[in-house]
């Protein structure tokens, strides 16, 4: 799978979580697997449903590049996300609207030892449904991201 970063995104809106959003969740995990294994697993978007049981289906024809969109079903939500940034083996960002919620999801990958990777995820949610129930939405997002990180870690370590 190829990936490219086609623009300087240091201060580009939409390439970072919305710090003013009612819900922002940040989590991380350490994965005992090579960076290439973790990155390839996570960025093979079309195969997410094969290892992440929270994702029912994904429709992604590529390429793994800014502007490409994918449609996925998770927790009963039909979501269309657009890739906003790709820095191979370092960072991927996607986002978009879903059911009145504007989400931005940032993933970063850092080799922290020989064969060890720290994966960080942060996501912001804004919009009327979030403003109405911020604590409930924050907890739902936290649980979803904890589950995703756990499944990513388990599958990458299985494949190492």
What is the Cα–Cα distance from 74 to 77, expressed in whole angstroms?
A: 5
State the pTM of this model: 0.90
What is the Cα–Cα distance from 100 to 130, expressed in whole angstroms?
A: 9
Contact 124, 131 (CB under 8 A): no
pLDDT for 76 equals 87
Q: What distance separates the 2 farthest-apart alpha carbons in the chain?
A: 45
pLDDT for 6 equals 36
Rounded alpha-carbon distances, angstroms, from residue 36 to 27, 120, 157: 21, 16, 12
Model confidence pLDDT, tens digit, residues 117-159: 999 999 999 999 999 999 999 999 999 999 999 999 999 999 9
Segments of the chain scoring below 50 in pLDDT? 1-10
> Hunting for tokens 């995703």 — which residue is that?
148
Dihedral (Cα; 135, 76, 126, 52), 10-degree rounding? 90
């Amino acid at each position: 799978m190829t990936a490219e970063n086609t623009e300087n995104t240091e201060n580009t809106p939409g390439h970072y979580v919305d710090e003013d959003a009612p819900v922002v969740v940040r989590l991380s995990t350490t994965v005992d697997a090579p960076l290439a294994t973790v990155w390839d697993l996570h960025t093979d978007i079309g195969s997410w449903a094969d290892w992440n049981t929270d994702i029912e289906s994904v429709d992604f024809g590529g390429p793994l590049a800014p502007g490409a969109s994918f449609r996925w079903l998770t927790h009963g939500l039909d979501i269309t996300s657009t890739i906003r940034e790709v820095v191979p083996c370092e960072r991927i960002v996607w986002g978009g609207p879903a059911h009145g919620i504007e989400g931005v999801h940032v993933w970063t990958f850092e080799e922290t030892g020989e064969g060890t990777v720290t994966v960080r995820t942060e996501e912001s949610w804004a919009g009327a449904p979030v403003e109405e129930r911020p604590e409930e939405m924050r907890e739902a997002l936290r649980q979803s991201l904890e589950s995703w990180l756990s499944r990513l870690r388990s599958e990458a370590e299985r494949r190492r």
